[in-house]
Structure 1
């Protein structure tokens, strides 16, 4: 069993414990007709649940409406290619919670994104616009506010010592008007504010900069153990050493074309002016 799978299973267990609330394990086991040991193992991540287990748990704890969420979280335990259709069957919040585990486990985080501002640096309004559009695209449950809250809470990691975030954006990502001019202008202010944080190094690859390879899909690297790549139909979790090494070379190549500090501020300021002019 992979360590990543186990951590995700433990996260599911914490959610189950949260739904149990003040009910004792023994009382819940009696309602479900299970041994108390099974309840304990599911809550501590020592046993993998089934979809029927998740639905039964939701009913027995008085949260029947959350059955699909629990099933979606269970399906999200799989590694490799994770289709958005399956992952988003219970909405965006469960996906965000699973990702938070990887952020918390990691000390060196690197990102490349050429299409939009990365989630760790998004304002709530910008994130709301992104989640709304993806929910429309995938026709998934509308849990946008819960997803925004989960994303904003994860951003607290930016201010905790012990982690470094080296994030590289293509300049074109600053101009992708996924939200209103007011929201875009505020998002540019947010980017400017993180430049100079001890834990964050933000680079912008200027349009027209010479790059060693064509920019492609966005991805995150979690230490040297995991890469998560997003595509339209699925999210790919890649953890074999050769693939991680490949993405590390890709990231280094793109990062070397970026500008930092004052030059990056200038590019962001230029994008802010255009956003403001669009009002």
Structure 2
């Protein structure tokens, strides 16, 4: 199925209508279907009205309960997968206000236990110094003080012992000179400091050596339920378990190339000193 961002909202409504028609054609009530699927009748109603987008597991349960034939079931599974993709373009986010995006991320982080960050080209806000955060928003017009404050406020989640974090950063992400040399040295010292938090694993992937694959995007995986993939003009939010598992598998492979612990600390210290020498 071709990905068309402008079709995503309509795909969700198409899925809701198709599931409603399927149930009615089978001569079943929402109450009957809810019992067979171990869901509430309210959930079935919300799925059929489009107020709730069902995950693929929900759709599979409904298809099994209604004994749907294979060709139609396959079409509905594809609809479900596309309906569980959300596109957030950069311009819409800016129009709404980037501080509101920070609130959304904070809610997502509060509901997540295990985080996996793959950082291809830049340092994420959870690891950034105030100067780095400010520089990352330099191309956004207007006063970004509230957004910066909220980004820094979100860093407190790293101290929550009920959560675990793994950050993988390429050497390119760590050493990209977004700031003047001395400020970059301070940013790298910040990374080394965060890596010592008990529930944080921070690894760097050095450019030296042989890595027989080429990552294309920065991405984050939240537990086993959601993955976000960043592009130059926005972000994809993926909820289909196949997509989420694919990114978890990618993460595991990239993790095997990363340096952790003392080896990571030594690399960060070496790169920090290189920035310091530039300042002289």
TM-score category of the 2 structures, normalised to the smaller one: 0.5 to 0.7
Equivalent position of 2:210 in the other structure: 210
Distance 1:189 1:166 in 2: 18
Distance 1:193 1:131 in 2: 23
The alpha carbon displacement at 1:153 in A equals 0.6
The alpha carbon displacement at 1:215 in A equals 2.1
Equivalent position of 1:90 in the other structure: 96
Provide Cα deviations, 1:147-171, integer angstroms capped at 9, x if missing partner: 1111111100111110000000001
Measured on the aligned residues, the alpha-carbon RMSD in Å equals: 1.8
Provide Cα deviations, 1:70-98, integer angstroms capped at 9, x if missing partner: xxxxxxxx961111111111332111111
Provide Cα deviations, 1:29-63, integer angstroms capped at 9, x if missing partner: xxxxxxxxxxxxxxxxxx9xxxxxxxxxxxxxxxx
Equivalent position of 1:244 in the other structure: 244
Equivalent position of 1:174 in the other structure: 174
Distance 2:254 2:165 in 1: 15
Provide Cα deviations, 1:104-146, integer angstroms capped at 9, x if missing partner: 110000010121112110011111101113x1xxxxx423211
Q: Determine if the alignment matches structure 1 residue 112 to structure 2 residue 114.
A: no
Q: Could you list the runs of 5+ residues in structure 1 that have no partner in the other structure?
A: 1-46, 48-77, 136-140
1:211–1:253 contact (8 Å) kept in structure 2: no
Equivalent position of 1:266 in the other structure: 266
Equivalent position of 1:62 in the other structure: none
Equivalent position of 2:151 in the other structure: 151
Q: Could you list the runs of 5+ residues in structure 2 that have no partner in the other structure?
A: 1-50, 52-83
Equivalent position of 1:126 in the other structure: 132
Aligned length: 198
1:122–1:190 contact (8 Å) kept in structure 2: yes
Distance 2:257 2:108 in 1: 27
Q: Within 5 A, what are the aligned runs for 1:1-279?
A: 80-133=86-139, 135=140, 141-279=141-279
1:171–1:267 contact (8 Å) kept in structure 2: no
Distance 2:210 2:176 in 1: 21
The TM-score normalised by the length of structure 2 is 0.67
